[in-house]
A and B are shown apart, each in its own frame.
Chain A
Amino acid sequence: MPKIINKDMIVEDKWVLLPKDFSGEPPMGKLLILPMKYWLEHKDNIRLPVLGIWIDSDEEVEEIGDQANLFPLIAVNFPSFMDGRGFSTGRLLRERYEYTGQLRAIGNPNRDQLFYLKRCGFDAFDLREGTDLEAALASLNDFSISYQNSVDQPDPLFRRKS
């Protein structure tokens, strides 16, 4: 079973991601992460109890925003690690739509982005194959302090001073 980082720990992952062009009936008996578009189109007919969805980098989180808390897991795709749109998507989900479930970075996020991803509200990370996950955990804490407010620290430094 593939391994991911979830809440600062390395865990086995049971979720199955369906591709963006998925059509037909979703398989039963699995923890599925459906493409956002698929869910939007079929939501009235889907009978699965526990579902995740994933949002691609060129999709707008606003389409799902108000319903975000229906899902125990939302994944945000980083098709290339240079594509930084997902950082905004993460913050919007947490800060604007007050999403509380698992927020997972998928695609090609890399170890050196973990600190920023965590700050933008991500708590699960499916890193590129071959990553040394034990070593990567350290990068979650590359910095012990930050200037800006973000999801992990709702006040900027200047409001935190005693």
Chain B
Amino acid sequence: MYRYTETDQKIIEERVAQFRGQTDRYLAGELTNEEFLPLRLQNGLYIQRLAPMLRIAVPYGLLNSTQFRKLAHIARHYDKGYCHITTRQNIQFNWPQLEEVPDILAELAQVQMHAVQTSGNCIRNITSDQYAGVIGDEVEDPRPWCEILRQWSTFHPEFAYLPRKFKIAVCGSESDRAAILIHDIGLQLVRNEAGELGFKVLVGGGLGRTPVIGSVIREFLPWQHILGYLDAIVRVYNRYGNRDNKYKARIKILVRAWTPEVFAQKVEEEWSHIEGGPCTLPQEEVDRVKQFFTAPAYESLDENAAEQSLSAQAADNKAFAKWLERNTLDHRVAGYRIVNLSLKPTGVAPGDVTDNQLEIIADLADRYSFGEIRATHSQNLVLADVKKSDLFALWQEAKVAGFATPNIGTLTDLICCPGGDFCSLANAKSIPVAEAIQRRFDDMDYVYDLGDLTLNISGCMNACGHHHVGNIGILGVDKKGEEFYQVQLGGSADNAATLGNVLGPSFGREEMPDIIGKILDVYVTNRLGDELFIDTYRRIGLDPFKESVYAKNH
């Protein structure tokens, strides 16, 4: 994991001092609300329905146990004892006091954390694959590249007042776990025919009120040029993106208006002036950053012996076997597995963690996974390097602490934004819908039988819950002051990313579990063999679902 140099530390401490000064000036009435707005947003501070909300940056989702203990301390002393993992791998506090935010930032700086550019019309936190560096199918570990981009984007002087927010995601493998198709810029590390490393560059993806799948504007960009090429893309956007209407201000609208081909030409033209300039990356810098992401001290383990004893434990304990199957994945190193800690037990807002749980997870990470933790865009946590021989002990501890719900990738592992309970943008609540669905489908055998299935809930069309790319997507809407829910089917955030189609008229909140039940019935009736929900949907289309859900009762 990256560790700050003295320079990195100095920059973050200067930021704390800068924001302390800005907050003081705001509280003294020297800054207007309007002027303070972009300053606080670029430090992750929103003014919410009930209290301010502070979004902490978790660069590409990586954390260590020391940082987790600090987050627990902040939750306990500055908040109401919990925090929330977001769909962009960040962490949010829902109850800080505005006056105390500079102190919170100073505490975070002690553990190499910050809230820089987690909101506002700037380049946001770079996100990536939660299994980076440990999964078998990787072309290249994306983490060093994410760190290089983090430094490039941090306080970029030209791009702090863009037309709108700007999100970049990086993946290092053919199978996309970073949702690069729905980001303003998606980068995929690839090798060309000569075996050289570079990036496939996509632009113009995004969700929100106009969901769009990104377009490839360059099949192969040699790695040395990534910073200059990004400068070119963001400069074109900064100069020509729409600034009159915030709903038309994202880069996706510009790319669509110009067409991806014309946009690409503009970028190439701009880049022709930048190419070969000082931001061309030297090998030494890449090597320097890569040193921070070398493999931890893995033991040399006997894969067969580990598998055998694991099989024996699984045979003895059905619950452990289920957890093993759903919540853990193959690791690229013999004798290890990747473990997902589920933050989706029924009755807890998806992605919420308490101060005590944060400390327990820090301890688990120290004892079982080299002290590192990853946040995922599906709002869970990952211990990436667990010995197979430790899995049973880890499972028992995780179960007691409440993170061993064996539901990763299933219906009840749903993605959900904070919604109308907290967020001032929301049109409707989302957490109670999530809970009602989890309660209705509490029969785990049924849930397992349904297999891999994503259900994503957003409380408004800003789409923080990524409803467009859920196999089942739920969108909260407001109709004359009443909350209703629209259902979409067929979305997917993987390599073949698709946007869901609207099923039809929306429903009241209390109807939602029944509606989901009817949709699942149509799937179960129509599926062929062990066909997944998304594949059945793609084969039979929307109509059978529509007919069943909107059928008049007898």
B161-A142 in contact (CB<8A): no
Contacts of A82 in B (CB 8 A): 38, 121, 161
Give the one of A84, A87, A143, A154 with max B CB within 10 A: A84
Contacts of A85 in B (CB 8 A): 238-239, 243
A148-B35 in contact (CB<8A): no
A84-B285 in contact (CB<8A): no
Surface stretch bound by A, among B147-155, B355-363, B394-402: B147-155
**Alpha-carbon distance A158/B282, docked complex (angstroms):** 9
Contacts of A155 in B (CB 8 A): 278
B158-A87 in contact (CB<8A): yes
Q: Closest chain B residue to A147 by CB distance?
A: B151
Give the one of A113, A148, A156 with max B CB within 10 A: A148
Instruction: For the complex formed, measure the closest distance between the CB of A56 and the CB atoms of chain B, giving whole angstroms.
Output: 12
Q: Closest chain B residue to A82 by CB distance?
A: B161
B14-A146 in contact (CB<8A): no
Surface stretch bound by B, among A8-16, A24-32, A39-47, A115-123: A115-123
B161-A87 in contact (CB<8A): yes
A146-B10 in contact (CB<8A): no
B158-A91 in contact (CB<8A): yes
Contacts of B273 in A (CB 8 A): 96
B308: CB under 8 A from chain A? no
Q: Closest chain A residue to B281 by CB distance?
A: A158
Q: Closest chain A residue to B235 by CB distance?
A: A88
Which residue in A83, A87, A110, A143 is a CB contact (below 8 Å) of B35?
A: A110
Q: Classify chain B: how many residues form its interface, as a range.
A: 35 or more
B22-A148 in contact (CB<8A): no
Q: Closest chain A residue to B156 by CB distance?
A: A148
**Alpha-carbon distance A156/B551, docked complex (angstroms):** 63
Contacts of B238 in A (CB 8 A): 84-85, 87-88
Instruction: For the complex formed, measure the closest distance between the CB of B153 and the CB atoms of chain A, giving whole angstroms.
Output: 9
Per-residue A-contact encoding for B126-166, CB less than 8 Å = 1, 0 else: 00000000000000000000000001101111111110000
Give the one of A82, A119, A120, A132 with max B CB within 10 A: A82
**Alpha-carbon distance A38/B275, docked complex (angstroms):** 34
**Alpha-carbon distance A88/B156, docked complex (angstroms):** 11
Instruction: For the complex formed, measure the closest distance between the CB of B319 and the CB atoms of chain A, giving whole angstroms.
Output: 49
**Alpha-carbon distance A29/B156, docked complex (angstroms):** 41
B7: CB under 8 A from chain A? yes
B519: CB under 8 A from chain A? no
Given contacts A81-B35, A87-B238, A88-B238, contact A158 B157 (CB under 8 A): no
Tell me the dominant secondary structure on chain B's binding face: helix
A157-B14 in contact (CB<8A): no
B239-A158 in contact (CB<8A): no
A145: CB under 8 A from chain B? yes
Given contacts A110-B35, A148-B152, A157-B7, contact A87 B159 (CB under 8 A): yes
Given contacts A87-B238, A88-B158, A96-B273, contact A154 B14 (CB under 8 A): no
Given contacts A145-B7, A158-B285, contact A115 B157 (CB under 8 A): yes
Given contacts A83-B243, A84-B162, A142-B18, contact A147 B278 (CB under 8 A): no
Contacts of B157 in A (CB 8 A): 87, 115-117, 119-120, 146, 148, 150
**Alpha-carbon distance A132/B395, docked complex (angstroms):** 60
Contacts of A96 in B (CB 8 A): 273
Instruction: For the complex formed, measure the closest distance between the CB of A29 and the CB atoms of chain B, giving whole angstroms.
Output: 37
Interface residues of B in 209-239 (CB under 8 A from A): 227, 235, 238-239
Contacts of B152 in A (CB 8 A): 147-148, 156
Given contacts A81-B35, A82-B121, A146-B155, contact A159 B278 (CB under 8 A): yes
B279-A142 in contact (CB<8A): no
**Alpha-carbon distance A142/B284, docked complex (angstroms):** 29
Which residue in A112, A120, A148, A157 is a CB contact (below 8 Å) of B39?
A: A112
Given contacts A85-B238, A112-B35, contact A144 B158 (CB under 8 A): no
6 A-B residue pairs with Cβ-Cβ distance under 8 Å, sorted by A, are: A84-B161, A87-B158, A88-B158, A148-B156, A158-B284, A158-B285
Top 10 nearest A-B pairs (CB, nearest first) are A84-B161, A119-B157, A158-B285, A116-B157, A147-B151, A87-B158, A149-B278, A142-B18, A143-B14, A155-B278
